[in-house]
Structure 1
Amino acid sequence: MNSNKYTLDRFEKDIAVFLKFPEEVEQLLIDRNLMTVSLQEGDIVEITQYNGTYHIEVLEDEIKTTRERVQNLIELLKKNNK
């Protein structure tokens, strides 16, 4: 059993493209039909692989923290551009 954190980067037709968190270099491709949770791009998840199946757990706290950090950086950039 192998478990890692990933960010959902994008959907390409019927394939979900996940990037290993936090480096976001290594990809994991999963057929959307095999996913039992509804996800949107940018979601951070923990994926456990076991016997060719995937268990995907959404990490709500990490998503919230990351989105707040990004929003704070955007606000800082806006202030510096004025």
Structure 2
Amino acid sequence: MTINDQYMAKVGSKGELFPPMKLRKKLGLEAGRKILYYIYNGKLIVEPIATVRSILDENKELINISQQEFEEDRKQFSEEAQT
């Protein structure tokens, strides 16, 4: 794991974590954004959970389907998720 930036902050009185604004902006952490916490080699790791929008924005050149194909895929994924 490469450390690109380091930031220091304090834990709040109720155990809240308050990442500095520069870090939140760099990771796209906005109010309501879901994040994943996990422990790796004794360290707390915080990762933003990818949204459908962020995945689409990062892969625009790979996405070339019609609206009909999109709706068919969406329906199939929805049905699979319910089983």
Q: Structure 1 length as normaliser, TM-score? A: 0.27
Which structure has the bigger radius of gyration?
A: 2
Q: Quick one: higher RCO (CA 8 Å, sep 6+), 1 or 2?
A: 1
Structure showing the higher strand proportion among its residues: 1
Structure showing the higher helix proportion among its residues: 2
